[in-house]
Every structure is written in structure tokens, then in C-alpha cells.
Amino acid sequence: MPGELFFRAAQPRDWDSVAMLLADAQLPLDGAEAHLADFILAVEGDRLVGAVGWERYGNHALLRSLVVSPELRGQRVGIALVNALLARARAEQLATLVLLTETAADFFRRFGFRPIERGAAPAAVTASAEFQGACPLSAIVMQLDFT
């Protein structure tokens, strides 16, 4: 079980730590730094142990970069991060939250995400770096509707 975790908004000074966590998990960095202000971080002591963010496009957003330190995977840190992001999405009255995944479709189904065709994603979201090549075409597209 992890020690005491707290969640906070990312700051510009966090980029190097977030980038290292993403790179270690082999997640794309393209476009992430530009949206760092929309990331929620999980911190244990003074150590970053998880992150999740979104790229917002009007009333739609692309969930990206859910990552947890290897030693804390399976200990509900990822669930807590997604729940925090979903609460924020509801509070900000998003219509939809879209994501791309190669490995975590079953994980995201528990939150209500459903697979969709790539072309069914909101047009604004498909202009993101992840849709434009940072994530492979083999990635599953999933969407959660709030309205």
C-alpha cells in the first residue's frame, strides 16, 4: 500500500518529473507539455508517483498520459487519478472525454468509457498530437459521454 498520497495540479516546474514518468512507461510526450496545466499529479512525500491529464477542446477533452510508478501499480493510484479527473470533467461540464489506449481498455471500461470508431471522435479532439500520430493507429479509441 502506498504511503500518504496527495493530489495536486501540475506546475511548470513538474514537467521534467512528469516527462520521466511518461517516458519510463513508454507513453507519448508529444503535446503533453503544452497541456501540463491540465494535469493532476499524485505525490507521495516529495516524489511524483502518478499523473493524468487532458487536452481540452471546447466542451470535449482528450484524456492522456495516465501513468503510475511501477512500484505502485495495482494499488488503486490510477483509479484515484481517473476519479479525480472525471470529477473535474463533470464540474467543468464537459460533454465528452475521449482517450486512446493500446493496453488499458478494460481498465477504462469500469469508468463508463466505451470503444468508438476513430472517425466518431469529436473533430476538435482528432486534431490533437495523439490522434495525429503520437499514438499508433492500432490504439483503441474510447469515449465517455457526460450529457
Q: Please write the tens of the pLDDT for every residue from 80-100.
A: 999 999 999 999 999 999 998
Give Cβ neighbours of residue 56 (< 8 Å, ≥ 6 apart): 35, 38, 94
Helix (H/G/I), strand (E/B), else coil: 127: coil
Percent helix / strand / coil, the chain, rounded to 5:
35, 30, 30
User: Could you give the number of structural domains in the chain?
Assistant: 1
Distance of alpha carbon 42 from alpha carbon 24, whole angstroms: 16
The residue segments making up the domain with residue 62 are 5-145
Helix (H/G/I), strand (E/B), else coil: 144: strand
What does the pLDDT read at residue 1?
47
Q: Residue 62 sits in a domain of what CATH number?
A: 3.40.630.30
> If pLDDT is split at 50, 70 and 90, which confidence band does 135 have?
low
